[in-house]
């Protein structure tokens, strides 16, 4: 897909009109629909199902420790400067790896692996070596040329020698947290990160042959201005990461305690947020980045852009993905897995997670088994989020329905989007127009049967 002209993506009148709370659809149904009375047997049955033996595996490890807290963060984390706390958690992960592996055909190739958090490099080099060795002992990781093995890195916690070490372990993709380079903004969110730290990490990643480098930015933070964020974007363009995630800050202090430390009066107004978003789109598309969807951009030769152009882009709990057919196994507290038509989440707090693993049991406490309707709506939402189009005949053939009958009310609701120039609705397909791509979450929400006013406040803003 060629880079889109920035003016066709940005319609401030429509963006402000449709701005609302809504899911990011890293899954459907979303985690809010997971049930506390979930039967773990649904998960283990799906894991041992021989019919899944032809598909690949994806592994996610949640490493929750951070030595410092970023005030904007809504992740499940443990803030501590005591590095010794990593040791017992690592031992729990190793036991969980063995427990999970017992349910799977471990000859199935692992084509994706991701360490997130928290700050994964809170662990020492010796501990990261130990965790990767335990993973390889129980699972069949594809060679470097075929697998996608990524890790989230905080440049304040990873020296160039750390990056070299991670490459020797097999990591070949790096996600670098930046958020903003402006000192005033950094101080306001308690993430002081000198530019040189980021430069050193990215330089080390390139020199050691990482396949892809991604950078995370956030717009809508306190004290951000057009001029200050323009300087951050100019620096980023010079650093030339392969891909970028530029998230809109979700200020939800009622859900995330640390966000109460942010001065709400210093946050950009809704109009200023829109201006910041426009700046992001213009600067990145002018620099040659392809708008993938949501808040993601990639260079044309990056795997995400290629996958989208080839129609193979997908979404999972980590966001956009190039692999659509993986079963995902989650390790660590709060991690989420997807096996077959089952979603399962581990205990969110460390004591409960440690108790389950210590007793030799899976730590799964919540989940959902998808119905036929869930699977159909998941496919619809995935197609819209990844490819900005939906072919009715593909859904009809797969699920044995007449689309215009089964989704008559949804198509009626979408007419308002069509009148605003966001979509076109044909007899056999739905297309998201360029002006609608920044609002694809809103369009996907039309097909979400679980949404209600009592749940919307739990989600971030769509713009």
- 31-329 — its CATH code? 3.80.30.20
Residues 463 and 277: beta-carbon distance below 8 Å = yes
Here the tokens at position 216 are 């995370």
Helix (H, G, I), strand (E, B) or coil at 111: strand
Return d(Cα 216, Cα 177) in angstroms, integer.
5
Q: For residue range 239-278, list pLDDT tens digits in order.
A: 999 999 999 998 888 888 899 999 999 999 988 999 999 9
Helix (H, G, I), strand (E, B) or coil at 84: helix
Q: Which residues contact 184 (CB under 8 A, 6 or more apart)?
A: 223, 228
Domains 1-29+372-463 and 31-329 share a fold: no
Residues 29 and 301: beta-carbon distance below 8 Å = no
Q: Which residues contact 341 (CB under 8 A, 6 or more apart)?
A: 46, 369, 370, 374, 375
Q: For residue range 30-70, list pLDDT tens digits in order.
A: 999 999 999 999 999 999 987 765 589 999 999 999 999 99
348-365 average pLDDT score: 97
* Residue reference for tokens 């199902």: 49
* Residue reference for tokens 């709370």: 21
DSSP H or E segment with residue 397: helix 392-399
Here the tokens at position 413 are 């609701």
Helix (H, G, I), strand (E, B) or coil at 136: helix
DSSP H or E segment with residue 432: strand 429-432
The residues pairing with 57 across neighbouring beta strands, listed in sequence order, are: 110, 327
Residues 255 and 225: beta-carbon distance below 8 Å = no
- What pLDDT sits at residue 54? 59
Return d(Cα 104, Cα 113) in angstroms, integer.
16
Residues 101 and 362: beta-carbon distance below 8 Å = no
Return d(Cα 171, Cα 288) in angstroms, integer.
27
The residues pairing with 345 across neighbouring beta strands, listed in sequence order, are: 336, 366
Name the DSSP class of 8: H
Return d(Cα 89, Cα 85) in angstroms, integer.
7
The answer, yes or no, to whether residue 80 has pLDDT greater than 60, is yes
Report the share of the chain in percent with pLDDT over 90: 80
**Number of residues assigned to the chain:** 463
143-161 average pLDDT score: 95
- pTM for this model (two decimals): 0.93
The answer, yes or no, to whether residue 9 has pLDDT greater than 80, is no
DSSP alpha helices (H): ranges in 329-368?
350-358
- What pLDDT sits at residue 454? 57
Question: Strand locations in 229-273, DSSP E?
Answer: 243-248
The answer, yes or no, to whether residue 7 has pLDDT greater than 90, is no
- What pLDDT sits at residue 316? 79
* Residue reference for tokens 């993973």: 135
- What pLDDT sits at residue 293? 84
* 79: number of Cβ within 10 Å: 15
- 1-29+372-463 — its CATH code? 1.10.10.920
345-349 average pLDDT score: 97
pLDDT band at 5 (very low <50, low <70, confident <90, very high): very low
Closest CA to 315 of 444, 436, 407: 444
Residue ranges covered by each domain of the chain: 1-29+372-463, 31-329
Q: For residue range 433-461, list pLDDT tens digits in order.
A: 988 988 999 999 999 999 875 566 677 67
Here the tokens at position 316 are 């999972």
The answer, yes or no, to whether residue 1 has pLDDT greater than 70, is no
pLDDT band at 23 (very low <50, low <70, confident <90, very high): confident
Dihedral (C-alpha) 314, 450, 258, 59: value to the nearest 10 degrees? Answer: -30
Q: For residue range 386-412, list pLDDT tens digits in order.
A: 999 999 999 999 999 999 999 999 999
Mean pLDDT over the full length of the chain: 92
**What angle, rounded to 10 degrees, do the helices at 270-286 and 226-239 form?**
30
Here the tokens at position 154 are 């905080």
Question: Strand locations in 132-256, DSSP E?
Answer: 140-141, 148-153, 173-179, 212-219, 243-248
Helix (H, G, I), strand (E, B) or coil at 430: strand
Q: For residue range 226-237, list pLDDT tens digits in order.
A: 999 999 999 999
């Amino acid at each position: 897909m060629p880079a889109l002209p920035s003016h066709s993506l940005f319609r401030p009148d429509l963006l402000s009109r449709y701005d609302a709370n809504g899911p990011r659809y890293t899954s459907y149904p979303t985690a809010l629909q997971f049930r506390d009375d979930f039967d773990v047997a649904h998960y283990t049955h799906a894991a041992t199902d021989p019919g899944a033996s032809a598909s690949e595996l994806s592994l996610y490890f949640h490493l929750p420790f951070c030595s410092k807290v970023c005030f904007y963060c809504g992740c499940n984390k443990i803030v501590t400067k005591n590095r010794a706390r990593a040791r017992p958690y690592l031992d729990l992960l190793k036991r969980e790896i063995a427990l999970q592996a017992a349910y799977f055909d471990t000859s199935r190739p692992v084509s994706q692996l991701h360490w997130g958090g928290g700050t994964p490099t809170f662990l020492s080099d010796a501990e990261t070596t130990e965790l990767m060795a335990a993973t390889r002992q129980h699972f069949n990781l594809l060679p470097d040329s075929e697998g996608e093995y990524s890790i989230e890195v905080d440049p304040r916690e990873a020296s160039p020698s750390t990056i070299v070490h991670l490459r020797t372990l097999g990591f070949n993709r790096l996600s670098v947290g930046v958020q903003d380079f402006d000192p005033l903004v950094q101080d306001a969110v308690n993430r002081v990160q000198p530019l040189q730290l980021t430069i050193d990490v990215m330089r080390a990643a390139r020199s050691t042959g990482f396949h892809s480098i991604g950078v995370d930015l956030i717009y809508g933070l306190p004290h951000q201005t057009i001029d200050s964020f323009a300087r951050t974007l100019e620096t980023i363009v010079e650093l030339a990461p392969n891909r970028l995630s530029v998230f809109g800050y979700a200020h939800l202090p009622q859900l995330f305690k640390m966000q109460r430390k942010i001065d709400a009066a210093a946050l950009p107004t809704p109009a200023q947020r829109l201006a910041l978003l426009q700046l992001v789109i213009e600067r990145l598309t002018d620099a040659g980045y392809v708008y993938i969807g949501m808040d993601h951009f990639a260079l044309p030769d990056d795997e995400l852009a290629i996958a989208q152009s080839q129609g193979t882009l997908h979404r999972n709990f980590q966001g956009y993905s190039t692999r659509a057919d993986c079963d995902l196994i989650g390790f660590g507290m709060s991690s989420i897995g997807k096996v077959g038509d089952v979603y399962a989440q581990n205990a969110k707090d460390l004591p409960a997670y440690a108790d389950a693993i210590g007793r030799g049991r899976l730590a799964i406490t919540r989940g959902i088994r998808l119905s036929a309707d869930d699977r159909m709506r998941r496919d619809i939402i995935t197609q819209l989020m990844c490819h900005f189009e939906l072919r009715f005949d593909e859904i009809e053939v797969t699920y044995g329905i007449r689309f215009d009958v089964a989704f008559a009310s949804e198509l009626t609701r979408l007419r308002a989007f069509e009148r605003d120039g966001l979509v076109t609705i044909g007899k056999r397909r739905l297309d998201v127009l360029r002006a609608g791509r920044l609002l694809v979450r809103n369009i996907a929400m039309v097909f979400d049967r679980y949404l209600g006013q009592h749940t919307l406040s739990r989600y971030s803003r769509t713009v």
